[in-house]
Amino acid sequence: MDPRTDRPVTGSISVLPASAETQWRGPSGPLGLIPGAVDVWRIPLPSGAKSSPNTIEILSTEERARAQRLRDPQKSAQFAATRRALRHILARYVAMPPESLIIEVSLQGKPFLMEKDRASTLHFNVSHTAGLALCAVARDRTVGIDVEEVDVHREILLIARRFFHPGEFAALESLPQSERTPAFYRCWCAKEALVKASGEGLHLPLNSFRLDCDPGRPLALLEAGTKLAGNPWSLRELALGPAYAGVCATSIPAPTWRHWNYTAET
């Protein structure tokens, strides 16, 4: 939205709301992915605090080390399960064994897939929280995704004051108490997804752009900031039930969305 005219920023972002009719399907076999499409995967995570041998054996040395550095056993197990699922998901698109995939990390911290000694045209992003992970996959264009477990006891105003754009904080503070939590989480997930899709990582502060996260309206970009301006960003709110909030962002204008349920491979 142009702050001088109170009108939306034309062409900067396209938003589709979460829908109770979102069809999370279970795919079978390899998957093709044409440019202009985004696949979003919903991945249930195990509640146990120990990784199974089947999980550990397909991870890279670096992934195993990252899991071991997490001192909380359950967080370590869920991180390992997320990476295992990611490898099985990507393997569907590139027809390679999951354990042979080479996943590198950019200087900004964003993971990418290597194919034939060069960066793959398959882009992906993954996010996980307690009990659930999400993965987004697209061809030729960037994607970012974020999922958060909803905590109604969280000090959301303190967090928003520190990390959100001043306009977002003011709007959040003005909402009735009952509406603040959903507004906070949809805004947080959308901002994180956009930051991840941009590839800027920590170089793009959350308060450098402004979203309209009123729970009664679709998400909208009010002020793009310098690093998001000029791109045809699209956002997808994901229907995950009351316990979770999730948003996917992509630089594809008006993408075709597919929603898949991941079932653990044996």
Domains for the chain: give ranges and CATH numbers. Answer: 13-261 (3.90.470.20)
Q: What b/e sequence results for 151-161 when a residue is b if at least 16 CB atoms lie within 10 Å of its CB, and e otherwise?
A: eeeeebeeebe
User: Does the structure show a pLDDT above 80 at 105?
Assistant: yes
Residues counted in the chain: 266
Q: What is the pTM of this model?
A: 0.88
Q: How far apart are CA 214 and CA 209, in angstroms?
A: 16
What average pLDDT does the segment 93-115 reach? Answer: 90
**Average of per-residue pLDDT across 75-99:** 93
pLDDT of 254 above 60 = yes
Q: Is 265 left (phi over 0), alpha (psi -120 to 50) or beta?
A: beta
Q: What are the angstrom distances between the C-alpha of 6 and each of 10, 95, 131?
A: 12, 49, 40
Dist CA 71 CA 173 (whole Å): 36
pLDDT at 49 (0 to 100): 64
Report residue 138 as tokens.
Answer: 């697209």
Predicted local confidence at residue 13, as pLDDT = 52
Q: Work out the pLDDT band at 15, boundaries 50, 70, 90.
A: low
Helix H, strand E, coil C: the string for 15-63 is EECCCCCCCCECCCCCCCCCCCEEEEEEEECCCCCCCCHHHHCCCCHHH
pLDDT tens track for 28-70? 777 889 889 999 999 999 886 667 767 788 898 898 999 989 9
Between strands 111-115 and 233-237, the pairing is unpaired
Mean pLDDT of 219-230: 86
Q: How far apart are the first and last CA of the chain?
A: 49
Percent of all residues in the chain with a pLDDT value above 90, rounded to a whole number: 60
Distant-in-sequence, close-in-space partners of 263: CB < 8 Å, separation ≥ 6: 26
